[in-house]
Structure 1
Amino acid sequence: MSPHSDLRPYLRTLDAETLADLLHAHAERDPELRHSLELRAATQSGDVSEAHRLLDAAVTDGNVEYTAKIGAVLDTLQRMLDLGSRADLAPLARRTVDDISEVLEQSGDHTGDLGDRLERAVELYARACTARPPDPEKLADWILEVEFDGPGWPVIDLAEFATALGEPGLRRIKSTVDDVLTATEAGHRRDVAERLREQLAEVLGDVDELVAILSAKPPRRDVSLKIVRVLRAAGRHSEAIAHAARAFLHDKNGHAPPPPPPSPPPAPVEEDDDVSRRRKDFDARPDRETYAALREAATAAGKWTSQRRAALARLRELAAEGPEQAEELARVLLDDGRPDEAWRACVRFGASPELRLELAEQRAAEHPAETIPVFREHVEELIERKDPQAYQEAARRLKLLRSLHKRAETPDEFTAYLAALVETHRRKTRLITEIRTARIALPKAVSSPRTPR
C-alpha cells in the first residue's frame, strides 16, 4: 500500500465492533489516546466527573503518564468550551491550573512540556470564567494569591480575566495593589504590584494613569512606543506626536541606551503602527513568514500573548482546509518551540511525509508507539526508490523500528510486520542483503540472496 494511501475507505467497510476493537487495542498502547477517549465518553453530556477522577488518579512522582493525563484533561476542556458546553467548567479548569502548579513547584522546573500545559490551562481557565463567571471577588483573591504568594508562575494577564472579574473583582485587586505600593516594602511583592498596576490601568482604560506609569520607567524605545500607541488609541494624537518627537531626540542625543545593533529609528508614528501593519499582513496572507514578522513586532510591543492566540486560532481554521495549510500551522508551532502541539496538529490535520518524519524523529525517544506508523511509511517509501542507498537506509530504519516496538512492548508486532514486508519484497535481493547486514533476524522461510538487484 502506498504511503499516501487513504485508509478511510477501507475503514468504512469494517463493522462497528471491529473498529471498536482496533481503536481499543491502539488505546491500550497509547496512554494519551486512552485518556482522551475516556474523557470523551464521560463528557458527552457535559459531565466532567471523569476529568476530576483522572486528576485524582494522576501520580505526580515519577509517573510518565502524568503529562499525558493532564493533556487529556486540557483537550477535553478545550473541546467542551469550543462546543459551547453549558457545564460550569471553571472549577475543573482552576483545579487543573493548581494541580500543574503544585507539580512544577515540587520539581522546581517550570519549563518544558508541563510549563506549556500550565500556560494553556490558564488560558482555558480564563475562557471558562468568561463563559460562566464565578464569584468575582473570589476569582480576584485567587489571582492575588497566585501573583503575590505563588512560586512565580503562572503569570496572570488581567486582560484575559477582565470580563469575569468585572468591576467588583478589579476593584478588589486594585485595593490590594495600592496597599502594597503604599507600604515601604520592596522586592518581589512590590514588583508584582507594579506590574498589576500597569495592567489595571490598561484594562480600566485609565490613559493618564497608564502614561504616568510608563513615563516613570527607565527610558527605552519599547516603552516610548507603548506610550505613543496608548495616546493615539485614546485619540490624543497631538500628545502622541509630541511624545514621539521627544523620545526620538532623547534617543538621538544618547541619553538612553540604543538597542543592539544601533540603527536609526523609522518615523515614530509608523513604528507605533508596526504591530497593526504586521497583523494586517498576517490576516491577508496567514503563513509562517507573516506569523514570524507579527511575533517579532508584537513581542517588542509587549502584545504577543493576545496576538499569538488570535493568530494561531486563524491558522488552525485554515489547517482544516488541507495539508499545505496544516503544514504552515505545524511549522509555526515548531518555530514557537512547541513540538508537542506541532505533532498534534499533524495528527489532526495531516501534513507532508517529510514533516511527519521530522517530528517522529523528535518524539521517538519518549513516544515510541506514536511514531511507529510514520517510520513504517518511510521504510515503504525508501524501498519504492529501488536504489541501493535507499535499501541501506531502509534497513537502518527497520533496526530503529525493532527498537521502538521493543520499547512500546509490542515486539511480536514487529516480527509479523517484518515477515510481511520480506514476503512482499523477497525478490529485492539487495534489500534482503542490507537487512541481514543490519543484523536483523529474518524469517526462516527467506532464502539466502544470490544476485543483488
Structure 2
Amino acid sequence: MNSLPAAVADALVEADGEGTDWPACWQALTAVSVELQSLLVTDSGPELVALIEQIVTQLADGVAGSRRHRVELAELAHRVLGTHARACAQTRPDPIRLADWLLDLQLRHPEAPEVSLAGYAEALDDDGLAHYRERAVALFEPLPVIGFGETGRYDRARWALLRVMEELAEYTEDVDLQLLVLSKDLSSGWHYLQVATVLRDNHRSDEALEWVERGLHATGGRGAALRLIDLAVEEHLRRAAPHRAVAVCRDAFIARPNLDVYLKIRALVVHTDDWPPLRAELVDHLVRDGSRLAIEVYRRIVEVELARRGIEEQELLVEWLQQLRGLQPDAFADYLEHIRSRHVADRELLDELSRRGF
C-alpha cells in the first residue's frame, strides 16, 4: 500500500519526458487505480482514505503540469476520486475535515478532478455539507461582479470557485445559491434574463420584475431587451395587471423605439379605448425624436398599419405619411413609390393618396 504513491510519482515524471513510453506509464497508473479499488474490500479504513487523497492530489498535480496527457490524467483522477468517495462512505471520516479537503482540492486544481457532492452525501452528512457551503460562499461572495459590457476575467481562482458554487447549488437545489452565482456575471442582458427567469420560475415575481427593470436599464433596449419585456408582460398579465404590462412596453419604446415593442403594445390595447391616444403618443415621440432609428421605425410602423388598416384608419395613415414627408423630404418620393408598388391592388388607398397629393 505504501508503495503506491511512489509508483504514481515515477509514472508522472516519465509521462511527459522525451521519448516516453506512454503506454507503459499509463499501465502503471491504471494499475494503481485498480489496486486502490481492491483495497476497498481488503483494507478499508482511515489509512486507505488518506492514501487515496494523496494519490488524487498527485494526479491532479499531474493534470496541471502535463503538456501531452491532460485528458487521460484527468479521467484517471476522476476515477480515483470515485474510489475515494466509496472509501469515505465505508469509513465515515470526520465530515468537517472531509469538507475542507474536497474544497481545497478543487480550489488548488481547477482543471481536475470535478467533485460530485452526491457521492459524498453520507460521509459529509449535514455538518460537513454546512461547513462546505459556509466556506464556499464566504470565498465566493467577495468576488467582483462583471458589469454590463465588461469582458469576464476568469482567472484560475474565480473559475475554480465558480465551478464549486455551481455544483453546490445544483446538489442542494438552493435557489439563493444559484442566484448568487448568476448575479456575479452581468456582462450582457441575457445574464439579467437568466436571473429574472430563475426568480419567476420559483414564484418570486416581485424580484423577477425588479431584475427585468435593471436589465432594461442596463441594455438600453438592445440585446435581450425584447425577452426581458416578454417576461415582464407575461408576469403582469398573470397577475391581472395589463396596464403595468403596457407601461413596461411604453417605457421601453420611449427609451429606444422598436417595431417589435410597438407591436406588443398594439396587441395589448388595440381593441381598447386606450389605443388611439397611446398610438398618437408613440408616433409623436418618433416625430419629435427625428433620429435615423426613429425614422426607420416610423416607416416600418406605417407599413404594418397599412397591412392591417381598416377604413376608419385611412385618415390617420395619410397623416402619418404627411409627417414622414416632413421628416425625410429628400427620400420620401422613393419611399412613396415603394408604398404604391406594394399596394398596387388597393385602389381605395391609391385613390386616397392621389387625392391628398401623394
TM-score, length-scaled by structure 2:
0.42
Look at both structures and tell me which one has the larger radius of gyration over its CA atoms: 2
Which has more helix, going by share of residues?
A: 2
